């Protein structure tokens, strides 16, 4: 891993359209923090309210180890015991000055503390309240949901795995996209507030996000009357659109999605006999002949290395992709050259205090990437600063800390 931090820091800073906007988030895991991170990257002043013992994702192992550092940059942290009256009062005072509040706890949790939308909007009618759940209100809304749960019940695992072997997608896709949709809803509500002067509640959910992702397959059935096959077993829309094992056992994805690209591919690789075969004249012809065409291509392409095929396909403008593992992206020349990675300081774990590169939001504003203004915070790093902002004296803060109301 040899990323050059200068590659991201030498690029001029992006505009911060949400600068001056205060966001208070009661979030954990991925969906809620992802929503707050998008708003924070756009310039909002985001305050993360953590439980007194800290966000549990700070110390997850395995596939959860990257959750906190990835989705909590550009935020301030205050640790509160919401089970105490003083802790709840601090939270309410923070929310009274907020433009946006975001939360992703079980239904009823925020109401228990008077921190739900009705409880907060009565004193702050301009408030935008983003509530992210497993399900939108309805028959399922009290079920416990996880990304994997909704992938299984929402058709995505069926579409990803091979027949009879449902498989979750290789990332927290509904959590991340659910957070993004929550941020989109907040931005829309802020525009509306600029017109009406009043806030509103925005609701988002994992299950509905998942259904949106598989909607193309639902509509495929509605249009054709044929159920969509799992992706590994589907009838492809294009004949050449697959992973090929080539010399040395390497793998590469190659595609030709038009008749013009098929012609270029055959000419570039010396497959004029395939180009001349009338059975392969059009893309639909080639799709029908896939059982015969793909074995032929696999046999012929096995003579090339992945690097040779990459060079040929890139030179001729054909779609291709090496098969990469996530850790290899730290050295991706495009990400390094365009500032797609930015250095953060890790707040927790065995490498706390050390630097690591993290991917930025995949957009530019005015030609610039949205950067890292603040590292992922240590637990309660900004507690004192935020309490002083609310008017608490140093003596008040010391007393609150001694009673473990704040940390």
Looking at residue 234, its pLDDT comes to 83
Looking at residue 11, its pLDDT comes to 55
Q: Which residues of the chain have pLDDT under 70?
A: 1-11
Looking at residue 149, its pLDDT comes to 98
Looking at residue 235, its pLDDT comes to 79
What torsion, rounded to 10 degrees, do the Cα atoms 396, 53, 22, 8 define? 130
**Domains of the chain, residue spans:** 6-214+339-402, 236-326
Other CB atoms within a 10 A radius of the CB of residue 335 amount to 18
Answer whether 170's CB lies under 8 Å from 183's CB: no
Looking at residue 5, its pLDDT comes to 42
Quote the CA–CA distance of 375 and 378 in Å, as a whole number: 9
Q: What is the pLDDT of residues 177-216, one digit of tens each?
A: 999 999 999 999 999 999 999 999 999 999 999 999 999 9
Tokens describing residue 114: 């008077």
Other CB atoms within a 10 A radius of the CB of residue 318 amount to 20
Quote the CA–CA distance of 206 and 168 in Å, as a whole number: 14
Quote the CA–CA distance of 169 and 385 in Å, as a whole number: 41
Quote the CA–CA distance of 369 and 194 in Å, as a whole number: 26
Answer whether 148's CB lies under 8 Å from 170's CB: no
Tell me the backbone φ, ψ of residue 103, rounded to 5 degrees: -150, 150
Looking at residue 91, its pLDDT comes to 98
By DSSP bridging, strand 320-322 and strand 341-345 are unpaired
Beta-bridge partners for 147: none
Global pTM? 0.93
CA distances to 10, 85, 235, 267, 343 from 371, in Å: 11, 38, 42, 44, 10
Question: What CATH class is the domain 6-214+339-402?
Answer: alpha beta
Looking at residue 13, its pLDDT comes to 84
Q: What is the pLDDT of residues 93-104, one digit of tens each?
A: 999 999 999 999
Looking at residue 67, its pLDDT comes to 97
The CATH fold of domain 236-326: formyl-coa transferase, domain 3 (3.30.1540)
Looking at residue 236, its pLDDT comes to 85
Quote the CA–CA distance of 386 and 90 in Å, as a whole number: 10
By DSSP bridging, strand 45-51 and strand 22-26 are parallel
Looking at residue 6, its pLDDT comes to 40
């Amino acid at each position: 891993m040899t990323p050059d931090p200068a590659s991201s820091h030498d690029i001029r800073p992006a505009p911060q359209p949400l600068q001056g906007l205060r966001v208070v988030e009661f979030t954990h895991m991925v969906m809620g923090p992802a929503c707050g991170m998008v708003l924070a990257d756009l310039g909002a002043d985001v305050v993360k309210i953590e439980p007194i013992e800290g966000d549990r994702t700070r110390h997850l192992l395995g596939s959860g180890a990257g959750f906190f550092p990835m989705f909590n940059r550009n935020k301030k942290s205050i640790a509160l015991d919401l089970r105490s009256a003083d802790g709840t009062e601090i939270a309410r005072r923070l929310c009274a000055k907020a433009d946006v509040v975001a939360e992703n706890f079980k239904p009823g949790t925020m109401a228990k503390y008077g921190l739900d939308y009705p409880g907060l909007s009565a004193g702050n009618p301009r408030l935008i309240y983003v509530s992210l759940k497993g399900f939108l209100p309805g028959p399922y809304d009290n079920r416990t949901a996880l990304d994997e749960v909704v992938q299984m019940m929402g058709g995505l695992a069926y579409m990803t795995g091979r027949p009879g072997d449902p498989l979750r997608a290789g990332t927290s896709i509904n959590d991340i996209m659910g957070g993004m949709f929550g941020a989109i809803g907040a931005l829309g509500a802020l525009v509306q507030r600029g017109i009406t002067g009043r806030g509103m509640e925005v609701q988002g959910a994992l299950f509905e996000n998942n259904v949106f992702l598989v909607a193309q397959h639902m509509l495929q059935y509605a249009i054709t009357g044929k159920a969509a096959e799992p992706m590994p077993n589907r009838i492809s829309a294009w004949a050449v659109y697959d992973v090929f094992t080539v010399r040395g056992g390497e793998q590469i994805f190659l595609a030709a999605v038009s008749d013009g690209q098929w012609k270029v591919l055959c000419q570039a690789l010396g497959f004029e006999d395939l180009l001349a075969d009338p059975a392969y004249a059009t893309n639909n012809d080639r799709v029908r002949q896939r059982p015969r065409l793909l074995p032929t291509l696999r046999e012929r392409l096995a003579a090339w290395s992945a690097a040779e095929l990459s060079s040929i396909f890139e030179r001729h403008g054909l779609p291709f992709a090496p098969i990469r593992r996530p850790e290899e992206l730290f050295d991706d020349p495009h990400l390094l050259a365009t500032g797609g990675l930015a250095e953060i300081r890790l707040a927790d774990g065995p490498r706390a205090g050390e630097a690591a590169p993290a991917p930025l939001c995949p957009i530019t504003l005015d030609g610039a990437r949205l950067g890292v203004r603040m590292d992922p915070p240590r637990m309660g790093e900004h507690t004192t600063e935020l309490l002083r902002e609310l008017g608490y004296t140093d003596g008040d803060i010391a007393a609150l800390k001694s009673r473990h109301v704040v940390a």
